[in-house]
């Protein structure tokens, strides 16, 4: 008993009571751990299965029932809809654009535009159009005598005859060398009615390289029978200060428009429609934008009568440099008077106008820097003047190969230019290939081996008043001559 008691006591002493429950506790703890572990494992499996179920729920039903609209949405929503219902307004706009180009006899361009359009295979009317264009194209005939093509030219057009013919010192010059807006529009109308079509000098003649070498040739102008191609240019698109303000623009002082101007537009601007247009100040000082000079007047006419312009041709515009271009005071020496910032703004605006004109088919040309008569000055002076133009005007309007001689003064007689002529060497070196003088004949064209030269007819007050018969092939002067002109139109002037 003692031993047992001792043992019991000893046990009792060595181990507390809970010791005897330890195995049970361990089993219970293990059981709890097992339960938790199993629970976690089960939850993981369940979640995985849910995840699979969910992903199947999103992907499979959609890939089997709505996948066409889900996966292929872009194709399925656009392609079937254009197949079924073509965008008619887009097709109509495309056809109107093609019709405008086709009206200018560029059927090939119009055909390409339709055939390469996204609607060509689905809109049968486009194929019908192409057929029509092919038929019309086959009816065109090559103009047989490109050497007889005439070239007409103008200066700035007079908007307000009251102010232009107000008796001041400039009146006689305007009366002799200018044309009014009304006269210009009447000339266009009559020339259009008699079948004239404006062409580009680059379509009239250009350089080719063939078995006989590199040389200039006349281009093939393809028009309906009876139509007559012609060229047009405008000199001095500068809006000089004597026309638009009270100042003379000399002594390096830039002069901007004021209401004492002589009734001309004062600069080319880019219109809200993106086309080049003109700004004009009336006698009360109000400035408006519109058809106040050759550029917008001709543009408006061509928009109305696209068959008046061959392949999108516009006129050639000649600029001097001594007061800046397009009515912007870009002459470098104006920088001091204007200040660097204002000067830079003038240059930037003129550059944008130049780009806009080019984008709309106008050809920008040199009219010399200082307007000297090239025929009467030395080759050295021609070179100095041409270099000055290159340094001050070309950076703004870009390179050109066309020159409109100031005063119409040619560097040679009617014989062909050769490099024996120092002035021709200078101008050829400077990149010019198209040379235009002034000549009273109905046409005067010369195809050189490495250049093209032509005469231009002045359709101004002088010619209309004194030699209306010389213009009979173009229009009836009686229906054009502005009654606001003082008569007789003087016959002596310094020329422009």
Least CB distance to Zn ion at residue 493 (A): 12
Helix (H, G, I), strand (E, B) or coil at 235: coil
3-state SS string over 326-341? CCCCCCCCHHHHHCHH
Dist. CA 328–CA 255, nearest whole Å: 10
Residue nearest to Zn ion (CB): 235
Distance CA 227, CA 103 (A): 13
Regarding 291 and contact with Zn ion (CB under 5 A), the answer is: no
Binding mask 390-429 for Zn ion (x = CB under 5 A): ----------------x-----------------------
Can residue 235 be called a binding residue for Zn ion (CB under 5 A)? yes
Q: What share of the chain is helix, strand, coil (3-state, %, to 5)?
A: 50, 15, 35
Q: Judge contact between 408 and 438, C-beta under 8 A.
A: yes
- For the CB of residue 302, give the shortest distance to Zn ion in the complex, in Å: 24
Q: How far is the CB of 248 from Zn ion (least distance, A)?
A: 17
The DSSP 8-state label assigned to residue 99 in this structure reads H
Residue closer to Zn ion, measured from CB, 235 or 482: 235
For the bound state, the minimum distance from the C-beta of residue 491 to Zn ion, rounded and expressed in Å, comes to 19
The CB-of-484 to Zn ion minimum distance in angstroms stands at 23
- Measuring CA to CA, how many Å separate 115 from each of 80, 89, 109, 111, 310? 21, 18, 10, 6, 22
Task: Tell me, by CB under 5 A, how many residues bind Zn ion.
Answer: 4
Listed ranges 25-33, 229-237, 459-467, 485-493: which one lies at the site for Zn ion (CB under 5 A): 229-237
Stretch that binds Zn ion, among 29-37, 41-49, 227-235, 337-345 (CB under 5 A): 227-235
Nearest to 244 by CA among 283, 205, 213: 283
CB nearer to Zn ion: give 192 or 434.
Answer: 434
Binds Zn ion by CB under 5 A, chosen from 106, 160, 236, 262: 236
| For Zn ion, the closer CB: 235 or 262 | 235
Q: Which is nearer to Zn ion, 229 or 454 (CB)?
A: 454
Q: How far is 263 from 154, CA to CA, in rounded Å?
A: 16
First-to-last alpha carbon distance for the chain, in angstroms, is 151
Nearer to Zn ion, 153 or 343 (CB): 153
Residues binding Zn ion (CB under 5 A) = 235-236, 406, 496
């Amino acid at each position: 008993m003692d031993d047992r008691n001792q043992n019991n006591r000893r046990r009792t002493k060595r181990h507390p009571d809970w010791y005897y429950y330890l195995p049970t506790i361990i089993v219970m703890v293990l059981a709890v751990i097992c339960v938790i572990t199993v629970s976690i494992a089960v939850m993981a499996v369940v979640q995985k299965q849910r995840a699979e179920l969910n992903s199947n729920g999103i992907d499979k039903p959609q890939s089997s029932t709505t996948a066409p609209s889900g996966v292929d949405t872009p194709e399925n929503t656009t392609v079937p809809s254009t197949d079924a219902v073509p965008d008619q307004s887009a097709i109509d706009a495309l056809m109107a654009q093609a019709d405008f180009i086709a009206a200018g006899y560029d059927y090939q361009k119009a055909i390409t535009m339709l055939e390469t359009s996204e609607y060509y295979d689905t809109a049968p009317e486009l194929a019908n159009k192409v057929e029509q264009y092919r038929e019309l194209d086959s009816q065109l005939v090559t103009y047989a005598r490109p050497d007889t093509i005439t070239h007409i030219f103008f200066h700035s057009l007079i908007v307000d005859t009251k102010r232009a013919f107000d008796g001041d010192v400039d009146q006689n010059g305007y009366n002799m060398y200018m044309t009014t807006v009304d006269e210009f529009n009447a000339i266009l109308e009559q020339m259009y009615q008699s079948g004239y079509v404006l062409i580009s000098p680059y379509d009239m003649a250009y350089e080719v390289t063939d078995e006989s070498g590199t040389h200039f040739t006349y281009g093939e102008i393809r028009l309906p029978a009876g139509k007559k191609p012609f060229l047009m240019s405008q000199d001095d698109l500068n809006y000089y200060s004597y026309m638009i303000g009270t100042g003379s623009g000399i002594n390096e002082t830039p002069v901007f428009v004021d209401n004492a101007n002589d009734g001309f537009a004062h600069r080319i601007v880019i219109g809200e429609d993106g086309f080049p247009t003109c700004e004009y100040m009336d006698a009360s000082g109000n400035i408006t934008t519109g058809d106040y000079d050759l550029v917008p007047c001709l543009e408006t006419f061509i928009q109305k009568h696209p068959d008046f312009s061959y392949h999108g041709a516009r006129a050639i515009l000649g600029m001097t440099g001594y007061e800046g271009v397009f009515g912007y005071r870009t002459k470098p020496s104006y920088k001091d008077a204007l200040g660097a910032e204002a000067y830079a703004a003038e240059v930037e605006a003129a550059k944008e106008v130049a780009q806009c004109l080019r984008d709309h088919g106008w050809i920008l040309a040199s009219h010399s820097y200082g307007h000297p008569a090239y025929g009467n000055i030395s080759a050295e002076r021609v070179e100095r003047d041409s270099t000055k133009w290159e340094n001050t005007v070309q950076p703004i309007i870009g390179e050109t190969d066309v020159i409109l001689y100031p005063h119409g003064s040619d560097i040679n007689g009617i014989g062909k230019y050769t490099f024996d002529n120092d002035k021709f060497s200078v101008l050829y070196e400077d990149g010019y290939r198209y040379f235009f003088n002034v000549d009273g004949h109905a046409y005067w064209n010369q195809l050189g081996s490495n250049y093209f030269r032509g005469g231009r007819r002045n359709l101004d007050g002088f010619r209309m008043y004194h030699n209306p018969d010389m213009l009979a092939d173009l229009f009836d002067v009686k229906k054009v001559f502005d009654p606001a002109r003082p008569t007789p139109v003087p016959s002596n002037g310094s020329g422009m």
